[in-house]
Amino acid sequence: MSHGTKRWWALGLIALAQFIVIMDTSIIGVALPRMQTDLGFSPENLSWVFNAYVVAFGGLLLLGGRLSDLFGARRMFTAGWLILLVGSAAAGLADSVAVELAARAVQGAGAALIAPSALTLLMMLFGAEPRELTRALALYGAAAPAGGTAGVFLGGVITEYVSWPWVFYINIPIALLAVLAAPALMPAGGARRGSLDVAGALTVTAGLGAAVYAIVRAPEVGWTSAQTWLALAGAVAALVAFVAIQAARREPLMRLSIFRTPNLAAANVTQLLLGAAWIPMWFYLNLYLQQVLGYSAFPSGAALLPMTVLIMVAMITLAPRAINRFGPKPMVVTGLAVLAAGLGWLALIRPDGTFVADVLPASLVAALGMSLAFIPSLGTAISSARPEEGGLASGIVNTSYQVGSALGLAAMTAVTASSGADQLGDLPALTNGYSAAFIGAGVVAAAGAVIAAITLRTAAPRPETTTAEPARVG
């Protein structure tokens, strides 16, 4: 196999990793009612089948990135798949609520090793050539929405025609394939001497976990309740301790001065707001299809396919060309503005609406915006860091997106509940609630466009790209 071919096969495995990591957040959605019946979940605990994975994944990403820099990206990539395999087997075999949630957390821990090491490997394979890197990032980026929608789609098929444990077992053959293929396809990634900041890893995981826990629980127990405030205070205390530890240590988990790197902080804020706008839209669109328009699991998954296909096509074909021509900053700002417009249009949904009138055109506009903003902000966040901190930069950007997703979804859950979405069966009230979520997510996207316009700097053109044809007007 030639070096060039091998590189693209390796990229295929990296994209598959991203696909599975994101699919595992969404594949359980349709299976939840069956799991609730079989394992005896209470309605409050049920959302933790989703959250246990996301909290472990989001909380451990920085540690995963640092481990990838210290012990080599390929080694951590393989270790992550093995942990995901164990967690998936346990989640499928679980016979109680506690075992199920613990297994989901183990899956999340595996994903937290896979995601940053996969991005580091991508940078090692393609980082030397900006044009190739943009194409590689586009393929990697397209794998995430594909995984999200495939999860809903596959979750529907598996739950309806097989049984819910298979939404977890499906990971096992893929994990085995990845573990076997990685040594042949991936560069080793130099291990480096250095100590592991265990205290930093524990405090940041506890802090992020407590913050997500507080915000996810708040709509149920009330924003003003003691439980919410205690959890938020605990989160702040843990994150302050984390920053203090990072400032004091010679070899911290996350060098604080990394945020002085031009564009790194700005691109991460963009990714956070992109997650906070996109995930609630996707979540509540699915609920609108099922609970208002009356779609069953499988058709509601299929209804999200046009949006996913457009994202994949736009990310792979349109985004790289547009970035090469206009540069990353205009693409990020335009993408977020288009996403905000699509969300505003989606907010016009009606209780007696139809897929073709109320969902399809608006969701395609939102999807176009997402596909334009995602790749340039991701590329900027990773390529602005020093090469030996690739794993850390990948961990930070993945964390930003995941934390944004969790916070955005929790905030919009509170918005929908206060706007009538807690009245199941009352279609006008449900529609009002979901419409409020789309407006809220649209405001987040619009704020993201303004912040990106102010904070992102336009990079000086690289010598490789200055030889490209000048942008023509009209």
pLDDT tens for each residue of 27-69: 887 777 778 788 887 766 677 787 788 778 877 888 888 888 8
Helices 328-346 and 427-455: crossing angle, nearest 10°? Answer: 160
Indicate the pLDDT class of residue 192, thresholds 50, 70 and 90: low
Task: Write down the pLDDT at residue 213.
Answer: 76
What are the tokens at 375?
């790749």
Give tens-digit pLDDT for 227-264: 889 999 999 999 999 999 988 888 787 778 777 777 88
**469 inside domain:** no
**452 inside domain:** yes
Tell me which of 9-18, 210-219, 222-231, 332-341 is least confident.
210-219
Q: Are residues 73 and 173 in the same domain?
A: yes
Query: With pLDDT > 90 as the criterion, what percentage of the chain qualifies?
Result: 24
From residue 305, alpha-carbon distances to 30, 32, 152, 182, 309 in Å are 16, 21, 10, 30, 6
Indicate the pLDDT class of residue 461, thresholds 50, 70 and 90: very low
CA 203 from centroid of its chain's CA atoms: 22
* pLDDT of residue 164 exceeding 90: no
* Number of domains present in the structure of the chain: 3
Domain that holds residue 118: 1-195
Q: Are residues 291 and 398 in the same domain?
A: yes
Sequence letter at residue 97: V
Q: Are residues 271 and 163 in the same domain?
A: no
Evaluate whether 168 touches 84 at the Cβ level (below 8 Å): no
Q: Are residues 205 and 189 in the same domain?
A: no
**93 inside domain:** yes
Indicate the pLDDT class of residue 460, thresholds 50, 70 and 90: very low
At 398, is the secondary structure helix, strand, or coil?
helix
Q: Are residues 293 and 347 in the same domain?
A: yes
CA 73 from centroid of its chain's CA atoms: 20
Average pLDDT over residues 74-96: 94
Q: Are residues 246 and 291 in the same domain?
A: no
Q: 443: part of which helix (H) or strand (E)?
A: helix 427-455
CATH of the domain at 27: 1.20.1250.20
> What is the dihedral angle through the alpha carbons of 57, 61, 67, 68, rounded to the nearest 10 degrees?
100
Residue 42, by phi and psi: left (phi above 0), alpha (psi -120 to 50) or beta? beta
Q: How many residues does the chain have?
A: 474
pTM of the shown model: 0.79
